[in-house]
Amino acid sequence: MENKFNLILESSPHFKTKRSTPQIMYVVILLLLPMCIAGVYFFGWAALIRILLSLVTALLTEFIFLKLRKKDISPVFDGSAAVTGILLALTLPPTLPLSDVVIGSVVAISIGKQLFGGLGYNIFNPALVGRAFLQAAFPVDMTTWVKPFYFNLDSITSATPLGGFKIDGVSTALNKLTLGNTGGCIGETSAILIIIAGIILILLKMADWKIPVSIIITVSVFAGILHLLDPVKYQDPLFYLFSGGLMLGAFFMATDMVSSPITPFGSIIFGVGIGIVVMVIRVFGGLPEGMMYSILFMNCFVPLLNRYTKPKIFGEV
């Protein structure tokens, strides 16, 4: 009987869920695929090349940095770098020069993630760090938008719905916004796809529902009040909800686990903060779109939110 025992000593509990961190990352990638496909449908090969380029660059950068830091290189395959690469590509204009894509992806992984210590330690959403860098370094490239050109080769320059409204006062039909048949970033134009994928993500408990819900409610209320005050100057809430990067940001960027709060009440404040900041930028600021900056801005507050929204211990008065 003796040889039947090969005992391990371990602290309890002795069994656990099958869910693992790489699994969460790969499910997120799977749910980002519809947006990638939509992007490729609207913007053809150009979009596909940029998504793949950003993905490969992100993985390579992760590999090189782990080597430089003399760490185990297995995190390359945990899916987190791949998520960053794909998310970054989805927020880029479809005609962005390829060199810019590479730079953005390198910055996202290196400065946005590895310099903080790798997975789990970054304060900001890495993909948005990459995008913010590109916005600052190549402002013209980052604001050159085209109409969806499918697999045609000639593209026609056009404004995004938000830009068009802000600068020229042109509004865009709601059905175009929800389906995604407008100018904009590769993966952010089809609100309906993003909402479906986002809801699946929430049902799988891989994103905190409180964040997108509080963002959407805040934006609706903010825009609703403005629209009631002056319907000509301000669009209705639906326009603000379905245009630009709001949906992609709310469901896939703000809910990034690493850079969002861990306390329930903190998540709500985080979402409300993003909603307010994005509307302030869009309505009163100099830029037509502010989703990226509002998320990065609220990321700064996460440690503070975690500290001040610590839940009350059971039985504590």
Partner 1 sequence: MLYAYFYLIYNNKSKKITRVMMKMKRLTFKKGIHPKEFKQITENLEIKEVPVPPKIIIPIRQHIGAPLNPVVKKGDRVKTGQIIADSEAFVSAPVHSSCTGIVKNIGDYPTPLSPSDTCIEIETEEKEEFDFDLNSNIDYKSLSKQEILKLIRRAGIVGMGGAAFPAAVKFTPPKDIHIDTVILNGCECEPYLTSDYRTMLEFPEKILEGLKIIMRAVEAERGIIGIEDNKPDAIEKMSQLVDNESNINVQAVKTKYPQGAEKMLISALTGRKIPPGALPFSIGVVVSNVGTAAAIYDAVVKNIPLYKRVLTITGEVLENPANLLVRVGTPFSFLFDYIGGFLDEVTKLILGGPMMGIAQFTPDVGITKATSGILVMGKRRVGKEFNCINCAECVNHCPIFLVPTKIVRFAKSEIWDKAEDYGAMNCIECGSCSYMCPSNIPLVHWIRVAKSKITEIKKSSGK
Of 290, 308, 315, nearest in space to 132 by CA = 290
Least separation in angstroms between residue 263's CB and partner 1 is 6
C-alpha gyration radius of the chain: 21
Name, in order, each residue with C-beta under 8 angstroms of 97's C-beta and a sequence gap of 6 or more: 138, 141
Residue 79 Cβ vs partner 1, minimum distance, rounded to whole Å: 11
Query: What gap in Å lies between CA 21 and CA 229, rounded to an integer?
Result: 47
Under the binding rule (CB under 8 A), the answer on residue 257 touching partner 1 is yes
Q: Would you state the structure tokens that stand for residue 138, as one six-digit string?
A: 């190549």
Q: Which stretch binds partner 1 (CB under 8 A): 98-106, 152-160, 257-265, 279-287?
A: 257-265
Q: Which stretch binds partner 1 (CB under 8 A): 101-109, 187-195, 256-264, 278-286?
A: 256-264
Which residue intervals of 94-209 are DSSP H helices? 98-110, 126-137, 139-142, 161-163, 174-179, 191-203
Taking residues 79 to 98 in sequence order and writing x for each that binds partner 1 by CB under 8 A, - otherwise, the string is -x------------------
Determine the 3-state secondary structure of 78 from DSSP: coil
- Other beta carbons within 10 Å of 71: 13
Residue 312 binds partner 1 (CB under 8 A): yes
Nearer to partner 1, 70 or 312 (CB): 312
Among 103, 262, 276, 287, binds partner 1 (CB under 8 A): 262
Which of 68, 73, 173, 203 binds partner 1 (CB under 8 A)? It is 203
In terms of CB distance, is 179 or 258 closer to partner 1?
A: 258
Residues 6+ apart with CB under 8 A from 227: 234, 235, 236, 237
d(CA 64, CA 68): 6
**DSSP annotation string for 260-295:** S-SSHHHHHHHHHHHHHHHHHHHHHSSSS--HHHHH
In angstroms, give the least distance from the CB of 214 to partner 1.
15
Is residue 201 a contact point for partner 1 (CB under 8 A)? no
Selected from 52, 174, 179, 258, the binder of partner 1 by CB under 8 A is 258
* Measured CA distances, 209 to 138, 147, 193, 195, 312 (Å): 34, 32, 17, 12, 21
Residue 144: helix, strand or coil by DSSP? coil
Q: Which is nearer to partner 1, 15 or 284 (CB)?
A: 15
x-marked contacts with partner 1 along 131-170 as a string, rule CB under 8 A:
----------------------------------------
Nearer of residues 61 and 178 to partner 1, judged by Cβ? 61
Number of residues forming the site for partner 1 (CB under 8 A): 50
What string marks each residue from 208 to 237 as x (binds partner 1 by CB under 8 A) or -? x-----------------------------
Residue 297 makes CB contacts below 8 A (sequence gap 6+) with 273, 274, 277
- Window contacting partner 1 (CB under 8 A); options: 86-94, 164-172, 200-208, 231-239: 200-208
Q: Which residues bind partner 1 (CB under 8 A)?
A: 1, 4-17, 19-24, 78, 80, 118-121, 202-205, 208, 257-264, 267, 306, 310-317
